[in-house]
Amino acid sequence: MKASANGQFIITWEEPKSVAAEAYRILRTNLQFVSPDERPRTILVTSPGPGDGKSTITANLATSLAQAGVQVIAVNGDLRRPSLHNLFRVRNSVGLTSVLVGQATLDAALQQTMVPRVRVLPSGPIPPNPSELLGSRRMQAVLNELRELADLLLIDAPPVLAVTDAGLLARIVDACLLVISIGQTPRELAVSAKEQLEQVGARLLGVVANRVDRGTGGYYYYYYHESMLDGLARSQSWWQRLLQRRRTRRHSAGRPAAADD
Protein backbone atom coordinates (compact mmCIF):
# COMPACT_ATOMS: atom_id res chain seq x y z
CA MET A 1 0.00 0.00 0.00
CA LYS A 2 1.33 3.42 -0.94
CA ALA A 3 0.52 6.37 1.30
CA SER A 4 1.30 10.05 1.24
CA ALA A 5 3.75 11.54 3.65
CA ASN A 6 1.05 12.16 6.26
CA GLY A 7 -0.32 8.62 6.03
CA GLN A 8 -3.43 9.47 3.97
CA PHE A 9 -4.28 7.44 0.92
CA ILE A 10 -7.17 6.81 -1.47
CA ILE A 11 -8.40 3.29 -0.96
CA THR A 12 -10.30 3.12 -4.26
CA TRP A 13 -6.97 3.70 -6.01
CA GLU A 14 -4.58 1.79 -3.75
CA GLU A 15 -6.90 -1.15 -2.97
CA PRO A 16 -9.53 -1.25 -5.73
CA LYS A 17 -10.62 -4.79 -4.83
CA SER A 18 -11.23 -4.01 -1.16
CA VAL A 19 -14.64 -4.03 0.49
CA ALA A 20 -14.42 -0.30 1.11
CA ALA A 21 -13.69 0.37 -2.58
CA GLU A 22 -16.76 -1.67 -3.49
CA ALA A 23 -18.82 0.49 -1.12
CA TYR A 24 -17.69 3.57 -3.04
CA ARG A 25 -18.75 1.93 -6.29
CA ILE A 26 -22.19 1.42 -4.76
CA LEU A 27 -22.25 5.10 -3.79
CA ARG A 28 -21.26 5.98 -7.36
CA THR A 29 -24.10 3.88 -8.75
CA ASN A 30 -26.62 5.39 -6.35
CA LEU A 31 -25.65 8.89 -7.41
CA GLN A 32 -25.99 7.97 -11.07
CA PHE A 33 -29.58 6.84 -10.49
CA VAL A 34 -30.69 9.50 -8.01
CA SER A 35 -31.80 11.89 -10.76
CA PRO A 36 -31.49 10.27 -14.21
CA ASP A 37 -33.32 13.09 -16.01
CA GLU A 38 -31.33 15.93 -14.46
CA ARG A 39 -27.95 14.74 -13.29
CA PRO A 40 -26.02 17.29 -11.23
CA ARG A 41 -22.79 18.58 -12.73
CA THR A 42 -21.50 20.24 -9.57
CA ILE A 43 -21.79 18.42 -6.22
CA LEU A 44 -20.77 19.92 -2.90
CA VAL A 45 -19.50 17.50 -0.24
CA THR A 46 -19.79 18.78 3.32
CA SER A 47 -20.36 17.56 6.87
CA PRO A 48 -21.79 18.89 10.13
CA GLY A 49 -18.39 19.26 11.78
CA PRO A 50 -14.68 18.53 11.32
CA GLY A 51 -13.35 14.99 11.28
CA ASP A 52 -16.36 13.36 9.62
CA GLY A 53 -14.33 12.26 6.58
CA LYS A 54 -15.71 14.56 3.87
CA SER A 55 -12.34 15.00 2.14
CA THR A 56 -11.74 11.26 2.11
CA ILE A 57 -15.22 10.69 0.67
CA THR A 58 -14.60 13.35 -1.98
CA ALA A 59 -11.28 11.86 -3.10
CA ASN A 60 -12.54 8.28 -3.20
CA LEU A 61 -15.79 9.18 -4.95
CA ALA A 62 -13.85 11.15 -7.56
CA THR A 63 -11.56 8.17 -8.12
CA SER A 64 -14.45 5.71 -8.35
CA LEU A 65 -16.25 7.90 -10.87
CA ALA A 66 -13.08 8.24 -12.94
CA GLN A 67 -12.65 4.48 -12.95
CA ALA A 68 -16.07 4.34 -14.61
CA GLY A 69 -14.92 6.73 -17.35
CA VAL A 70 -16.15 10.04 -15.91
CA GLN A 71 -13.92 13.11 -16.29
CA VAL A 72 -13.80 14.62 -12.79
CA ILE A 73 -12.37 17.79 -11.30
CA ALA A 74 -12.07 17.74 -7.51
CA VAL A 75 -12.10 21.27 -6.12
CA ASN A 76 -10.77 22.03 -2.67
CA GLY A 77 -13.29 24.57 -1.46
CA ASP A 78 -12.09 24.29 2.13
CA LEU A 79 -9.90 27.37 2.34
CA ARG A 80 -9.37 27.04 6.08
CA ARG A 81 -8.13 23.48 6.65
CA PRO A 82 -7.40 22.06 3.17
CA SER A 83 -6.39 18.42 2.86
CA LEU A 84 -7.49 17.27 -0.60
CA HIS A 85 -4.04 18.01 -2.03
CA ASN A 86 -2.51 15.59 0.50
CA LEU A 87 -4.81 12.77 -0.57
CA PHE A 88 -4.01 13.27 -4.25
CA ARG A 89 -0.34 14.12 -3.53
CA VAL A 90 -0.27 17.37 -5.46
CA ARG A 91 1.33 20.68 -4.55
CA ASN A 92 -0.75 23.39 -2.92
CA SER A 93 1.31 26.48 -3.64
CA VAL A 94 -1.11 27.56 -6.39
CA GLY A 95 -4.83 26.85 -6.36
CA LEU A 96 -8.35 28.20 -6.04
CA THR A 97 -7.39 31.27 -4.02
CA SER A 98 -4.71 32.14 -6.59
CA VAL A 99 -7.34 32.04 -9.35
CA LEU A 100 -9.91 34.02 -7.35
CA VAL A 101 -7.53 36.90 -6.67
CA GLY A 102 -6.13 36.93 -10.20
CA GLN A 103 -2.66 35.60 -9.44
CA ALA A 104 -3.02 32.47 -11.61
CA THR A 105 -5.12 31.08 -14.44
CA LEU A 106 -7.19 27.92 -14.15
CA ASP A 107 -4.79 26.17 -16.53
CA ALA A 108 -1.90 26.94 -14.19
CA ALA A 109 -3.77 25.94 -11.04
CA LEU A 110 -5.40 22.70 -12.22
CA GLN A 111 -3.24 19.63 -11.64
CA GLN A 112 -3.40 16.13 -13.06
CA THR A 113 -3.34 13.42 -10.40
CA MET A 114 -2.05 9.88 -10.37
CA VAL A 115 -5.63 8.81 -11.16
CA PRO A 116 -6.46 9.01 -14.88
CA ARG A 117 -9.42 11.36 -15.58
CA VAL A 118 -9.11 13.10 -12.20
CA ARG A 119 -7.75 16.62 -11.95
CA VAL A 120 -7.54 18.64 -8.76
CA LEU A 121 -7.91 22.33 -8.11
CA PRO A 122 -6.27 22.62 -4.68
CA SER A 123 -7.09 25.40 -2.25
CA GLY A 124 -3.90 27.36 -2.80
CA PRO A 125 -2.56 29.68 -0.09
CA ILE A 126 -4.92 30.07 2.88
CA PRO A 127 -6.48 33.56 2.67
CA PRO A 128 -7.52 35.89 5.49
CA ASN A 129 -11.06 36.17 4.05
CA PRO A 130 -12.30 32.73 2.88
CA SER A 131 -16.02 33.57 3.09
CA GLU A 132 -15.65 36.71 1.00
CA LEU A 133 -13.78 34.83 -1.71
CA LEU A 134 -16.20 31.90 -1.84
CA GLY A 135 -19.22 34.19 -1.89
CA SER A 136 -17.87 36.37 -4.69
CA ARG A 137 -19.11 36.59 -8.26
CA ARG A 138 -15.66 35.47 -9.33
CA MET A 139 -16.24 32.12 -7.56
CA GLN A 140 -19.40 31.59 -9.58
CA ALA A 141 -17.48 32.40 -12.75
CA VAL A 142 -14.72 29.93 -11.86
CA LEU A 143 -17.28 27.16 -11.34
CA ASN A 144 -18.85 27.96 -14.69
CA GLU A 145 -15.44 27.70 -16.36
CA LEU A 146 -14.69 24.42 -14.63
CA ARG A 147 -18.00 22.92 -15.75
CA GLU A 148 -16.78 23.22 -19.33
CA LEU A 149 -13.63 21.22 -18.54
CA ALA A 150 -15.10 18.06 -16.99
CA ASP A 151 -18.17 15.87 -16.76
CA LEU A 152 -18.51 16.43 -13.02
CA LEU A 153 -17.16 18.76 -10.35
CA LEU A 154 -16.84 17.52 -6.76
CA ILE A 155 -16.27 20.34 -4.28
CA ASP A 156 -14.82 19.57 -0.88
CA ALA A 157 -16.35 22.24 1.38
CA PRO A 158 -15.80 23.20 5.02
CA PRO A 159 -18.18 21.78 7.65
CA VAL A 160 -21.58 23.40 7.35
CA LEU A 161 -22.00 24.17 11.05
CA ALA A 162 -18.52 25.55 11.64
CA VAL A 163 -18.46 28.48 9.21
CA THR A 164 -20.66 30.10 6.56
CA ASP A 165 -18.51 28.90 3.64
CA ALA A 166 -20.48 25.72 2.86
CA GLY A 167 -23.75 27.62 2.82
CA LEU A 168 -22.33 30.15 0.39
CA LEU A 169 -21.14 27.41 -1.95
CA ALA A 170 -24.35 25.40 -1.59
CA ARG A 171 -26.25 28.24 -3.26
CA ILE A 172 -24.24 28.04 -6.48
CA VAL A 173 -23.87 24.27 -7.00
CA ASP A 174 -26.34 21.76 -8.42
CA ALA A 175 -26.55 19.49 -5.38
CA CYS A 176 -25.01 18.56 -2.03
CA LEU A 177 -23.93 15.43 -0.18
CA LEU A 178 -23.84 15.44 3.61
CA VAL A 179 -21.21 13.21 5.25
CA ILE A 180 -21.77 12.02 8.81
CA SER A 181 -19.54 9.81 10.91
CA ILE A 182 -21.19 6.98 12.82
CA GLY A 183 -20.19 7.11 16.47
CA GLN A 184 -18.81 10.63 16.13
CA THR A 185 -21.42 12.97 14.63
CA PRO A 186 -24.13 13.74 17.22
CA ARG A 187 -27.62 13.21 15.84
CA GLU A 188 -28.72 16.76 16.65
CA LEU A 189 -25.78 18.19 14.69
CA ALA A 190 -26.71 16.09 11.66
CA VAL A 191 -30.26 17.46 11.86
CA SER A 192 -28.97 21.03 12.21
CA ALA A 193 -26.67 20.60 9.19
CA LYS A 194 -29.57 19.32 7.08
CA GLU A 195 -31.73 22.26 8.14
CA GLN A 196 -29.04 24.81 7.39
CA LEU A 197 -28.53 23.44 3.89
CA GLU A 198 -32.28 23.54 3.31
CA GLN A 199 -32.45 27.15 4.53
CA VAL A 200 -30.09 28.29 1.77
CA GLY A 201 -32.08 26.39 -0.85
CA ALA A 202 -29.57 23.59 -1.36
CA ARG A 203 -30.62 20.46 -3.21
CA LEU A 204 -29.64 17.66 -0.84
CA LEU A 205 -29.03 14.41 -2.70
CA GLY A 206 -28.55 12.36 0.44
CA VAL A 207 -26.30 11.48 3.32
CA VAL A 208 -23.20 9.33 3.36
CA ALA A 209 -22.79 7.49 6.66
CA ASN A 210 -19.05 7.11 7.13
CA ARG A 211 -17.19 4.63 9.36
CA VAL A 212 -19.99 2.10 9.66
CA ASP A 213 -18.27 -0.96 11.09
CA ARG A 214 -19.98 -4.22 10.14
CA GLY A 215 -17.77 -6.32 12.36
CA THR A 216 -15.30 -7.36 9.68
CA GLY A 217 -12.40 -5.21 10.77
CA GLY A 218 -12.98 -2.47 8.23
CA TYR A 219 -15.18 0.54 7.64
CA TYR A 220 -18.09 0.64 5.23
CA TYR A 221 -19.80 3.63 3.66
CA TYR A 222 -23.55 3.81 3.34
CA TYR A 223 -25.54 6.18 1.15
CA TYR A 224 -29.06 7.18 2.09
CA HIS A 225 -31.51 9.14 0.01
CA GLU A 226 -32.38 12.57 1.37
CA SER A 227 -35.84 11.41 2.52
CA MET A 228 -34.19 9.10 5.05
CA LEU A 229 -32.73 12.14 6.79
CA ASP A 230 -36.19 12.81 8.21
CA GLY A 231 -35.64 9.78 10.40
CA LEU A 232 -32.87 11.62 12.19
CA ALA A 233 -35.48 13.59 14.12
CA ARG A 234 -37.45 10.55 15.29
CA SER A 235 -36.97 8.16 18.17
CA GLN A 236 -35.32 4.84 17.25
CA SER A 237 -34.25 6.30 13.93
CA TRP A 238 -31.98 4.50 11.46
CA TRP A 239 -29.14 6.46 13.06
CA GLN A 240 -29.81 4.92 16.48
CA ARG A 241 -30.25 1.46 15.01
CA LEU A 242 -26.88 1.70 13.26
CA LEU A 243 -25.19 2.75 16.49
CA GLN A 244 -26.89 -0.02 18.44
CA ARG A 245 -25.90 -2.60 15.82
CA ARG A 246 -22.31 -1.34 15.97
CA ARG A 247 -22.20 -1.61 19.77
CA THR A 248 -23.80 -5.06 19.76
CA ARG A 249 -21.33 -6.46 17.26
CA ARG A 250 -18.35 -5.06 19.11
CA HIS A 251 -19.65 -6.41 22.41
CA SER A 252 -20.28 -9.89 21.01
CA ALA A 253 -16.84 -9.92 19.36
CA GLY A 254 -15.16 -8.69 22.53
CA ARG A 255 -13.28 -6.00 20.59
CA PRO A 256 -12.62 -2.37 21.56
CA ALA A 257 -13.86 0.39 19.30
CA ALA A 258 -11.61 1.11 16.34
CA ALA A 259 -9.86 4.46 16.22
CA ASP A 260 -11.09 7.04 13.75
CA ASP A 261 -8.90 7.51 10.72
Does some domain include residue 6? Answer: no
Sort strands 118-121 and 111-112 into parallel, antiparallel or unpaired: antiparallel
Does some domain include residue 85? Answer: yes
Does some domain include residue 210? Answer: yes
The domain total for the chain is: 1
Instruction: Please list the pLDDT of the chain residue by residue as tens digits (261 residues).
Output: 354 444 478 999 999 999 888 989 988 988 877 766 678 899 999 999 988 889 999 999 999 999 999 999 999 999 999 999 999 999 999 999 999 999 999 999 999 999 999 999 999 999 999 999 999 999 999 999 999 999 999 999 999 998 899 999 999 999 999 999 887 888 889 889 999 999 999 999 888 887 665 444 344 444 444 444 444 444 334 344 444 554 555 555 554 333 333
Does some domain include residue 254? Answer: no
Using DSSP, state whether 258 is helix, strand or coil. coil
User: In this structure, are residues 186 and 73 in contact, taking their beta carbons and an 8 Å threshold?
Assistant: no
> For the sheet containing 152-156, what is the strand order?
111-112, 118-121, 72-76, 152-156, 42-46, 175-181, 204-213, 219-225
Q: How far is CA 86 from the centre of its chain?
A: 14
Does some domain include residue 158? Answer: yes
pTM of the predicted structure, to 2 decimals:
0.80
Does some domain include residue 256? Answer: no
Report d(CA 186, CA 247) in Å as an integer.
Answer: 16
User: In this structure, are residues 153 and 146 in contact, taking their beta carbons and an 8 Å threshold?
Assistant: yes
CATH number, position 46: 3.40.50.300
Which range of residues forms the domain containing residue 142?
A: 11-248
Does some domain include residue 61? Answer: yes
Does some domain include residue 113? Answer: yes
User: In this structure, are residues 3 and 9 in contact, taking their beta carbons and an 8 Å threshold?
Assistant: yes
